[in-house]
Chains A and B, each alone.
Chain A
């Protein structure tokens, strides 16, 4: 697969795509040029790692994320170590006369409650933040996998199929990218039975609504790849289209797909937090950062930590993913780094 990471398809870029393409170009311009000693083969794993290691920002954000993932994985262990439970109420730790403000300084920080307690309920904040990280990462990773699975399947089918298939699938992809994800996600959560597991619902909703970008990238790559000699050779060797797709194309698609996953992950974290913030995501008592932030609005002065902790965690996570994603993109393919961003859709408002 060496050398293939460089190849980037012309793709069918709409006017909108052109706009966002211009928009994201500075990312590549702003990034430092990779070390001149870098190998000419962009996608060899060792080269990629070396390039990543040479950027302090990438190392730092990878470290932050590693700690975060470890904390999330070890959440049950750590909360047990602290002797806490994210769901246990502690009425004795909040001042009911003052509307439920935690007793003690800094939101009730104590030897038992390392980061204080939740106002109103007295639940341990450390435990809830950690369990919130689990939800956040679980939904983001799950949704990204669903998006990539659908995107790769549709993109491959469009790129390899005949003109009719390609046209049809491309139109469907256009529609998917044009629809506002947050809005449809909110509407979808309204019509699903209340007892459906929420994290799974969020994974499916975000995954099913957000595969358009991945599909575009895979299609463009496939169109380019299938004209190359080694694919033609494989086909002439008597391999069927599926075997060619699996053995020859998929490995070469890995680099752009990984790169795009790095863009999707932080975006999906934000979507989950947004949905939970709006009250249509994870349901209480399951802890989630977005939900905490929505509750925190009434405690600005009485308990600022209750706002700052989940907000800070969310910001650091998203920022670390973004910086690392940017670095991975540049490391995988310095020259084409900016172009892969064309399919990005930024959920705003």
Chain B
């Protein structure tokens, strides 16, 4: 198990390094003078030169990459003409537009994204897993047919269409809810929850189809295994078989996939955030792209990538912990 863990972590570090090269290459390849971008339109050549010096843009590419990585690992200093601006690790650079540290911006936006992802998870675990279990246990009935048809239809539906239709029906026509506008949890928990309800539903229901299929498949698979047949032959009650034994087989994949999905969403549910105006990481990315704030864009991409990669590792480990055969293969 230890060896398996180390292997997976090693792989993750490799992916992260590749990502950092990619992301750095992005800034480096970008057309236009970063110093001019950072300085703004009304800068004199002297000011631009100063900014270029401050951002270290005169150095060789490899030096700049090394500085970039060092900034993430150990932090770095930027000279501001009058003094030194300390950017602590993990330093992802300074925003072109606001002179704020990118790390700070990201940390500020993270809670909104996290609350979206976790709320959605509650919904897909309840709705998706519930529907999957029901359809696996009531084979041949209306329930099974309904779940199968619904999940098939829901596969491939873009999340923003689901969100748009929900907005249209719930807010514009039925008027059950006002159009959501984000309220921070710290400001007013009740309003926060009401305004997050639709984003949670959108993302949660979107993912539910996947979880329903997964749960159904793994439950059916477990129920078909020899040891279940043996239990049945011994006269173990159906309730005990399902509750104690079938679930044991059905749950690990769900947990592993949930870890993966939450990680991906921590990395930003870009579309959902954009649709509902939630000021999370995804929206930060889009806003950064719009004003060509490259350090913010690259910082967010790195954090999102790291979230996905780490989630992959966690999912693998959780799966391995639940099912030892994985480690051996």
Contact = CB atoms under 8 A, between A and B. Distances in A.
A191 B159 contact: no
Contacts of A318: 156-158
Contact of A301 (B159, B160, B172, B315): B172
A294 to B, nearest CB: 8
Given A174-B15, A186-B289, 19 more contacts: A16-B260, A24-B213, A26-B220, A175-B14, A179-B308, A183-B301, A184-B305, A191-B30, A191-B31, A193-B31, A297-B164, A300-B167, A301-B172, A307-B164, A314-B161, A318-B157, A319-B153, A322-B156, A348-B261
B156 A319 contact: yes
Interface in A332-349: 346, 348-349
A49 interface: no
Contacts of B27: 191
B294 A191 contact: yes
B127 interface: no
Interface of A: 14-16, 18-20, 22-27, 29-30, 171, 174-175, 178-180, 182-184, 186-193, 266-267, 270, 273-274, 277-280, 293, 296-297, 300-301, 304, 307, 311, 314-315, 318-319, 321-323, 346, 348-349
Nearest to B257: A19
B285 A293 contact: no
B256 A19 contact: yes
Interface in B69-100: none
B289 A348 contact: no
Contacts of A182: 270-271
A15 B305 CA distance: 18
Contacts of B213: 23-24, 26-27
Contact of B158 (A15, A174, A192, A270): A270
Interface of B: 8, 11, 14-15, 18-19, 22-23, 26-27, 29-31, 148, 152-153, 155-161, 164-165, 167-168, 171-173, 203, 206-207, 210, 213-214, 216-218, 220-221, 253, 256-257, 260-261, 264-265, 267-272, 274-275, 282, 285-286, 288-290, 292, 294, 297-298, 300-301, 304-305, 308-309, 312, 315-316, 319-320, 326
A187 B167 contact: no
Nearest to A311: B161
A174 B27 CA distance: 24
Contact of B29 (A191, A277, A296, A300): A191
Contacts of B30: 190-191
A202 to B, nearest CB: 14
A25 B210 CA distance: 11
A324 to B, nearest CB: 12
B161 A183 contact: no
19 contacts: A16-B260, A22-B253, A23-B213, A24-B213, A171-B14, A178-B309, A180-B267, A180-B304, A180-B305, A183-B285, A184-B22, A187-B289, A191-B294, A277-B158, A278-B274, A278-B286, A293-B161, A348-B207, A349-B272
